[in-house]
Structure 1
Amino acid sequence: MSATTPPDAVRDGDLIAAIDLGSNSFHIVVAQRVLGQLRVVDRLRETVRMAEGLNALGGLDPAVRDRALACLDRFGQRVAHIPRRQVRAVATNTVRQLRNPDVFLRPAEAALGHPIDVISGREEARLIYLGVAHEQPPEPSQKRLVIDIGGGSTECIIGRGFQPLERESLQLGCIASTRRFFPNGKLGRKRWQAALTEVELQFQQFAATYRNLGWDEAIGTSGTHKALANICAAMKAGTGGISREALHKVRDRLLMAGRIEDIDLPGLSDDRRPVIAGGVLVLEAAFAVLGLEYLQVSKAALREGVLYDLLGRDGADDPREASVAALMQRYGVDVAQAQRVERTALMLFDQVAADWGLGREDRAMLSRAARLHELGLAIAHSGYHIHGAYVLQHSDIAGFSQQGQRFLATLVRCHRRSVPKSAFEQLPERLQPSARRCAALLRLAVVLHRARRDETLTGIRLSASGNTLRLHLERRWLQARPLLRADLEGELEDMLDLGVALVLDLA
């Protein structure tokens, strides 16, 4: 095991699981690590159609919510005996669109027995590409276009090897587009053409960039593409893929039905019939705008990408670390100061982690926040902690869930000055206690390094009991640093807004 591999990393024989809360279907994939590779041992899929329950105000129909929770309860039984670190659940477009996602996520996490990460569209795109690349390894120099049509969104990615180069996510999916363009179930050429023109405009936003970059092959993934490949094969219009000509034949036959409930396509399952029109519409627009002639179909999708990403987080391939390094470079972070604060923050963390119930992921997030706490200085010195927090919350940062970015942003927002009463409200309740405590540790580390010079912090010890932090310092050492003493005395009051009582113990 390498020095960068944690002692509780996934080993040969261990099981890992990925759970995908899609807008159409929920999926679970369980795999076993064998000789460094993943071997799928179980798959479950249930049609939940979350997107059907999403209303214009961002609410979720109670019947659809109950259907989703019942599915997650069953999935939870399957992963109940797999260690928490070896399971990752992600939620996509429909949960992203909810006005208050936590209203759904709290009971959903209770039913599943695991946290659920809400991921952005571009992070979803990255994971989809990762899954396809691992399942169908490309040539190192080969570029691929990958298109994933889900229930609520469509992701388009160009990548080379295992790295995505361009990622886009559109608010177009088989369910969402069917509901939007054919709300009464009627199909007709005039209606279809008007809808196609509107969908094509969405692809036009990035089409020039993609076509200029180019690709060697195009791959479709997820349910719509698999269903269309089966239909094309049944119509003897192709085997294993989708051509432009075959797609038009499917569209023409679909429109002949006149109504969605009357669609009669060979190879089409009853389960897929209610949403196939929206999927065909989106794919026809993609073919037209991107100039596609043929699309291979991959068995891999988001869930496989989540599995491989989960493995990467155990070692040097954690995408979050690469993202932090890129942010530091982009915003000109003072690396030496960031490292000083990080070392001290982690030293303090290690002294109180057990008493405060903080874990490995909390330590990693504190480390990242320490490296990024001055990111906002590139914008302005005044309120730089606010600027940095805004950037971290609202950027597309590879590897992070929306909750993860908010956690990071909250630590950066609260590392200096007063702490707003609403600072932690954006976080799920389960993350708020650890975020408050990590913020307290980051504040102390920043104060101890205000001088911005290398200094051995001798005699400093931290202990925790309940919500009380006791900072043990040598009296003579602190007396020689009047500015530090004034800063620490100021923290006695400011820390209270974190729910932490700081006590200075001078010996």
Structure 2
Amino acid sequence: MSSPLYAVIDLGSNSFHMLITRQLADSVQIVDKVKRKVRLASGLDKNNNLSAKSIARGLECMRFFAERLQDFPKQNIRIVATATLRLANNRDTFLQQANQILGQNITLLSGEEEAKTIYKGVAYTSNILGNKLIFDIGGASTEIIIGENIDPIKAVSLDIGCVTFNQAFFATGELTQAAFSQAIAHAKTQITPVVKDYQDIEHQVVLGGSGTMQALAEMLMYAKQPTLIDYDFLIQTKQQLIDCKSFDNIALDGLVGERIPVFASGLCILIALFESFQVDRLHLSSGALREGLLYDMLPTTKNVDIATLTINSMMSKYHVEQDHGARVLYLAKQLFDAYAPTNAQLGQQDAFILGAACQLHEIGLLIEYKQHQHHGAYIIEHSQMPGFNQSEKQTLAMLVQQQKDSIKKGVLDNQLLPKTRCLAMLMILRVAIILASRRQQDQLPILKVSGENKMLVLMFDVDWLSAHPLIKDELSREIKELAKFDLTLTIKLS
């Protein structure tokens, strides 16, 4: 009988990671994560030979991982090494001993293979269609990839990383304007020659998910800001670091201690990427190399985005009536398509979150009807949801919680996404739920919908609305509730 457990090990230049998951129906459940800061790249000398101490640190970590792997079938394990071991002249000294400890051979990825696998990890776990430009900053290499949907088109790996840059530009521990300028300028000399290869390929979004981007996103979340990294925020953060003067004095809100040692060098590389590619903003990805390895290994995740698998799995697990979720989604899509063109702040991400809310809005009914929307929000907030980033999960929970009754202003004020977008999604969800309340496909209204700035206009057949006095009354109540938030719901009869 095949095992549902899978393990992926990534021997990175800064950290060694082990990800253990379980396949549950069509979803992926994270069982355990193990991370050790080995900082292998810091053990490279000027001749690209690993020191005995760095090899010893790496082998010690292999013994930790081997203990956990002994119960896994070999076909359910992927172990890869990346930039530092590509660079190291004496890598075989480490790899031979590590293979013996693990009882399984480590695959040394080429730079291009690493970049393409990173792209797949981002593509599998994101909900963004179309072309994507992806940056990934590791300890000894930086990957730049562009692709369409789940297929990489152009991929390159550059020998610049946050550990190697730390040694080159911040070895004294001082944070000076000169050090930042030198690091950014050097990164640009490596990045600029490849920019022209990407200029003829259009992209709709820029994504990144490595440690530097994660650290910046955590700082934004701490400040209750959307996890959207823009150029101004990078420059502001650089100045904050310079003001700290040294690594020992770094105390930035939301920046956790383990990220501090290589944060400045990673930031320099990211600024160079932004400037070289003329990027305005970057979205955080929930996947990268390990997820790319994992989802390529799983038998049922090919060509299906992970967010869809997550939604379907949660609907099945909590016995949600899928036909009713589909009815609410059908109506919400009509409302969104009419309202979004007149409200420029709404986009693809909002349509995705709104769709998930339509399908999962009754997830709390399994606990009990009373306060079911609050139970549903709790389930979402405390569930592993591959394919959803933190701000998407938070907004999804808010929509489920506020789907009926009075809208709580305090909940809206605490969202990571802009309040105007959250209110627009909430209005559409609440109206769609009301219109689908008969729970019968043949009883859905035939609508003509139009939108203006902060106004949603519904035109009903007069006979349909007369035949549904309860829905008419609920819509009247909803008009009053939305008006409290400067939103206008207008009912017209044909």
TM range (shorter): 0.5 to 0.7
Q: Paired residue for 1:47?
A: 37
List aligned pairs for 1:286-305, cutoff 5 A. Answer: 286-305=273-292
2:57 partner letter:
R
Task: Please list the CA deviations of residues 461-503 of structure 1 after superposition, one character each: whole Å capped at 9, or x if unmatched.
Answer: xxxxxxxxxxxxxxxxxxxxxxxxxxxxxxxxxxxxxxxxxxx
CA RMSD, Structure 1 to Structure 2 (Å): 2.2
Query: Which residue of 71, 90, 99 maps to 2:61?
Result: 71
1:279 aligns with 2:263: no
Please report how far the alpha carbon of residue 212 of structure 1 lies from its aligned counterpart in structure 2 after TM superposition.
Answer: 2.5
2:169 matches 1:181: yes
Match of 2:220 in 1: 232
Match of 1:23 in 2: 13
Q: Which deviations, in whole Å up to 9, do the C-alpha atoms of 1:184-207 show, x marking residues without a partner?
A: 222211232232122112111121
Q: In the TM superposition, what is the alpha-carbon distance from 1:149 to its structure 2 partner?
A: 0.6
Residue 296 of structure 2 contacts residue 302 of structure 2 at CA under 8 Å; is this kept in 1?
Answer: no
Corresponding residue number in structure 2 for 1:213:
201
Structure 1 contact 88–115 (Cα < 8 Å) conserved: no
Question: What letter corresponds to residue 183 of structure 1 in structure 2?
Answer: A
Q: Is the Cα–Cα contact under 8 Å of residues 183 and 269 in structure 2 kept in the other structure? A: no
Structure 1 residue identity aligned to 2:125: E
* Mapped contact 2:295–2:302 kept (Cα < 8 A): no
Q: Which residue of 2 aligns with 1:472?
A: none
Match of 1:57 in 2: 47
Question: Aligned runs of 1:106-145 on 2, under 5 Å?
Answer: 106-139=96-129, 142-145=130-133
Q: Which residue of 1 aligns with 2:351?
A: none
Point out the more displaced range, 207-216 or 34-43. 34-43
Q: Quick one: distance in 1 between partners of 2:66 and 2:300?
A: 22
**AA of the residue aligned to 2:135:** I
Q: What is the distance in 2 between the residues matched to 1:208 and 1:296?
A: 22
Distance 1:282 1:178 in 2: 11
Q: Secondary structure at the match of 1:264?
A: coil
Q: Percent identity?
A: 35
Distance 1:244 1:115 in 2: 42
Distance 2:111 2:209 in 1: 15
Partner of 2:486 in structure 1?
none
Matching of residue 83 in structure 1 with residue 73 in structure 2: yes
Q: Which shifted more, 122-131 or 184-193?
A: 184-193
After superposition, the C-alpha distances for 1:226-249 in whole angstroms (9 at most, x for unaligned) are 01111233356x422311111111
Corresponding residue to 1:35 among 4, 25, 35: 25
After TM superposition, list the pairs within 5 Å mapping 1:66-465 onto structure 2: 66-139=56-129, 142-235=130-223, 238-311=225-298
Show structure 2 runs of 5+ residues with no match.
305-494
**Residues 204 and 312 from structure 1, CA distance in 2 versus in 1: closer, same or farther, beyond 3 angstroms?**
farther
Q: TM-score, normalised by structure 2?
A: 0.58
Q: Detail structure 1 runs of 4+ shifted over 6 Å in the superposition.
A: 312-317
Aligned mates of 1:79, 1:260 — CA distance in 2:
37
Residue 184 and residue 106 in structure 1: after superposition, are their counterparts in 2 closer, same or farther (change >3 A)?
Answer: same
In 2, distance between residues paired with 1:111 and 1:235?
A: 44
1:307 Cα deviation (Å)?
Answer: 0.9
Q: What secondary structure does 2:94 align onto? A: helix
| Cα distance in 2 for residues equivalent to 1:167 and 1:281 | 21
Unmatched tracts of structure 1, length 5 or more: 1-7, 318-507
Q: How many correspondences in the alignment?
A: 304
CA distance in 1, matches of 2:300, 2:187: 37
Deviations along 1:132-184, one digit per CA (max 9) or x if unpaired, are: 11111432xx0001111111111011010110011011111111111112222
Residues 27 and 254 of structure 1: CA distance in aligned 2, closer, same or farther (over 3 Å): same
Once residues 313 and 181 of structure 1 are traced to their aligned partners in structure 2, the CA distance between those partners, rounded to angstroms, is 46
Say whether the 8 Å CA contact 1:222–1:299 is kept in structure 2: no
Cα distance in structure 1, aligned partners of 2:60 and 2:79 = 16
How far apart, in 1, do the equivalents of 2:104 and 2:61 lie?
14
1: CA distance, partners of 2:223 / 2:25: 42
